[in-house]
Amino acid sequence: MSREKFVERTLFLLALSSLSSLLLITIFIFIEGLPLILETGLGNFLASSHWAPTKGHFGILAMIISSVLVTLGAMVVGVPFGLACAISLAEFSPPRLKMVLKPTLELLAGIPSVVYGFLGVLWLVPLIRDYLGGPGLSLLAGAIILGVMILPTVISISIDALDAVPDTYRDGSIALGATRWQTVRRVVLPAASSGIITAVILAMGRAIGETMAVIMVAGNALKIPHSVLDPVRTLTSNIALELGYASGRHREALFATGIVLFVIIMILNLSATFLTRRR
């Protein structure tokens, strides 16, 4: 085999590393968690909210609902802010300002999730407790913190989507007498919509998968929330809180929780990839 051929083969093997890691992750999570789901029955596992793992009750409905609500809340908080930043930067700011503001806002992505959680506990939780009532550690606190944490994802992917709209679209609209805002709303945003939707979907994936910050601010109570001020425990928090001491069937149940989370996130990622490809 010639040297060139050898190099190519080796590089091909290296290139398979990410795919094989993904495969290994999937296999191991399923091997550990699937037996319990089959034993309990998928229906019981997903539709019961009775979680008492040491007594053999494995129902994760309350956590699924909590995860979904916290994530939707994060979207309500994060998407308008993120989109506003993206539009201001991409459409209404001079290139110089954009050059400075974009990397500055992206710094938000570098701040570790534990720091967000910490500041949430110190500043946000007392505010909610004092002004809105309840224990403070709540669905609302989780949603707001996650909303801030998804900002960088929403901002940078939306800016890319807006930048990808050809300038001829804008010129055409302006030439017809439209204002810049009319152009943005009627021409640029519709043209960039699939990219923006991708940003929102990826942000949802990030929010539902986030763990440490949510553990710190959401209160972790094991029940279906009735108000935004109730404390909640998400799928991710449940895994992280109990993995340290779980064993036997209890541990299997945590991996089964992981399977549910994994499937939700893969569906979100796949739809994002699909959307990007169609574009």
Burial status of residue 61 (CB atoms within 10 A of its CB: 0-12, 13-18, 19 or more): middle
How many whole angstroms separate alpha carbon 58 and alpha carbon 45? Answer: 6
Interface residues for other proteins in 113-142 (CB under 8 A)? Answer: 113-119, 121, 123
The smaller minimum CB distance to other proteins, of residues 83 and 139, is found at 83
Choose the binding region for other proteins from 60-68, 124-132, 210-218, 224-232 (rule: CB under 8 A).
Answer: 210-218
* Piece of 46-54, 111-119, 135-143, 166-174 that binds other proteins (CB under 8 A): 111-119
Residue 166 engages other proteins in binding (rule: CB under 8 A): no
Residue type, 126: P
Candidates 11, 38, 52, 76: give the one binding other proteins (CB under 8 A): 11
For CA atoms 60, 32, 261, 135, the dihedral sign is positive
Contacts (Cβ under 8 Å, ≥6 apart) of 249: 36, 53, 56, 58
**Residue number, 57 or 251, with CB nearest to other proteins:** 251
Coil, helix or strand for 57?
A: strand
| Footprint of other proteins on 20-79 (CB under 8 A) | 21-22, 24-25, 28-29, 32
Stretch that binds other proteins, among 37-45, 55-63, 101-109, 188-196 (CB under 8 A): 101-109
Task: Count Cβ atoms below 10 Å from residue 123 Cβ, excluding itself.
Answer: 9
The answer to whether 81 contacts other proteins (rule: CB under 8 A) is yes
Asked if 16 touches other proteins (CB under 8 A), the answer is yes
Query: In angstroms, what is the minimal distance from the CB of 100 to other proteins?
Result: 11
Q: Where are the beta strands (DSSP E) in 140-268?
A: none
105 lies in the site for other proteins, by CB under 8 A: yes
Contact with other proteins (CB under 8 A): which of 110, 168, 226, 245?
110
- Site membership for other proteins, residue 165 (CB under 8 A): no
Backbone phi, psi, residue 245, to 5°: -120, -5
Give the angle 146-201-45 at the CA atoms, nearest 5°: 75
Residue from 74, 75, 89, 253 in contact with other proteins (CB under 8 A): 89
| CA gap 137, 125 in Å, rounded | 6
> Quick one: residue 32, left, alpha or beta (phi over 0 = left, psi -120 to 50 = alpha)?
alpha
209 binds other proteins (CB under 8 A): yes
Examine residue 7 and tell whether it contacts other proteins (CB under 8 A): yes
